[in-house]
């Protein structure tokens, strides 16, 4: 059984723990090494318990702890072959495990999908041990049919619900930054995520985690309420067969399995 725990998620730092019966995998290593160690400890783990780190892309909120992590640990770090040079350059490391196809960590098969976020190459990930499939896809940019198909078999889906479009357009961000976030190379809005959730509710999903929620252009309440519209449109009672969760910036989420 593959389990997912959001250690923290948001504009300042991102890290998600994936666990099976035989291994522990981190998606990204944002914030700082000391912060990451503290959140791991809150989950009963130390860095030596981590079997691999898979990187989505090279932006600081996803790799901020990686340089110091590698100074203290020999954990294998995986990144797509196009993204790996950017991660190595940014973090001052030289031994990234490059991939351009599915790979395995212990008993877990790892699949990936390319996202249109404005990085050298941004990945969403899917993890399976043969019993269930868990996905985490943040920094998406735009929902495609390929993404929908990638997520449809999953029982647990962590997906970004980054911003409320009205808060963003009325907010204080510079115009160019607003346009970047709203573009197909930026982030998904609450509305876009809700539309995706409505389609996923026809699949195997039983737990949905809203992640990468902006502190400046969103609220937990707005993200949750917009996602709930998908449940209403499908006449599905949230919490009965499918549960909706929030991944928070400064609080570890509960372990979902």
Q: What are the CA-CA distances from residue 106 to residues 98, 165, 169, 205 (Å)?
A: 17, 41, 45, 24
Two tokens, residue 192: 């876009």
Q: What is the pLDDT of residues 56-102, one digit of tens each?
A: 999 999 999 999 999 999 999 999 999 999 999 999 999 999 999 99
Q: Sorting pLDDT into bands at 50, 70 and 90, what band is 182? A: confident
pLDDT at 6: 98
Q: Sorting pLDDT into bands at 50, 70 and 90, what band is 116? A: confident
Nearest CA among 186, 182, 210, 183 for reference residue 196: 210
Nearest CA among 168, 254, 179, 156 for reference residue 219: 168
Rounded to an integer, the average pLDDT of 106-115 is 96
Nearest CA among 186, 183, 234 for reference residue 208: 234
Rounded to an integer, the average pLDDT of 230-236 is 96
Q: What is the pLDDT of residues 24-42, one digit of tens each?
A: 999 999 999 999 999 999 9
pLDDT at 173: 92
Task: Output the furthest CA–CA distance in the chain (Å, rounded).
Answer: 51
Q: Sorting pLDDT into bands at 50, 70 and 90, what band is 180? A: confident
Q: How far apart are alpha carbons 6 and 33 in whole angstroms?
A: 16
Of all residues in the chain, what percent carry a pLDDT higher than 90?
Answer: 92
Backbone angles phi, psi at 20, to 5 degrees: -120, -170
Q: What is the pLDDT of residues 120-140, one digit of tens each?
A: 899 999 999 988 999 999 999
Helix (H, G, I), strand (E, B) or coil at 87: helix
Q: Map tokens 């395995």 to a residue.
A: 104
Tell me, what DSSP letter sits at residue 251?
Answer: S
Q: Sorting pLDDT into bands at 50, 70 and 90, what band is 145? A: very high
Judge whether residue 213 has pLDDT over 90: yes
Of all residues in the chain, what percent carry a pLDDT higher than 70?
Answer: 100
pLDDT at 92: 94
DSSP 107-171: TEEEEEEEE-SSSSSEEEEEEE-SS-EEEEE-S--S--HHHHHHHTT-SEEEEE--B-HHHHHHS
Tell me, what DSSP letter sits at residue 225?
Answer: H
Provide the residue count of the chain. 257
User: Is residue 96 within 8 Å of residue 77, measured between CB atoms?
Assistant: yes
Nearest CA among 9, 7, 8 for reference residue 213: 9
**pLDDT mean across residues, the chain:** 95
């Amino acid at each position: 059984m593959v389990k997912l725990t959001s250690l923290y998620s948001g504009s300042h730092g991102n890290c998600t723990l994936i666990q099976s019966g035989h291994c522990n995998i981190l998606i990204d290593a944002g914030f700082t090494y000391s912060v990451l160690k503290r959140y791991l400890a809150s989950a009963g783990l130390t860095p030596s318990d981590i079997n691999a780190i898979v990187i989505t892309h090279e932006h600081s909120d996803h790799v901020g702890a990686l340089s110091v992590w590698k100074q203290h640990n020999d954990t294998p770090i995986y990144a797509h072959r196009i993204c790996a040079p950017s991660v190595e350059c940014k973090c001052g490391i030289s031994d990234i495990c490059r991939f351009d196809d599915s790979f395995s960590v212990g008993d877990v098969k790892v699949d990936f999908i390319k996202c249109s976020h404005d990085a050298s190459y941004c990945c969403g990930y899917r993890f399976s041990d043969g019993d269930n499939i868990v996905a985490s896809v943040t920094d998406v940019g735009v929902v495609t049919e390929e993404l929908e198909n990638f997520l449809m078999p999953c029982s647990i889906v962590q997906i970004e619900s980054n911003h409320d479009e009205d808060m963003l357009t009325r907010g204080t961000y510079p115009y160019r930054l607003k346009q970047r976030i709203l573009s197909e190379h930026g982030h998904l809005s609450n509305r876009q995520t809700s539309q995706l959730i409505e389609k996923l509710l026809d699949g195997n999903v039983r737990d949905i985690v809203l992640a990468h929620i902006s502190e400046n252009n969103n609220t937990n309440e707005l993200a949750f309420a917009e996602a709930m519209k998908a449940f209403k449109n499908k006449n599905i009672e949230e919490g009965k067969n499918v549960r909706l969760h929030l991944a928070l910036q400064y609080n570890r989420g509960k372990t979902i399995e």
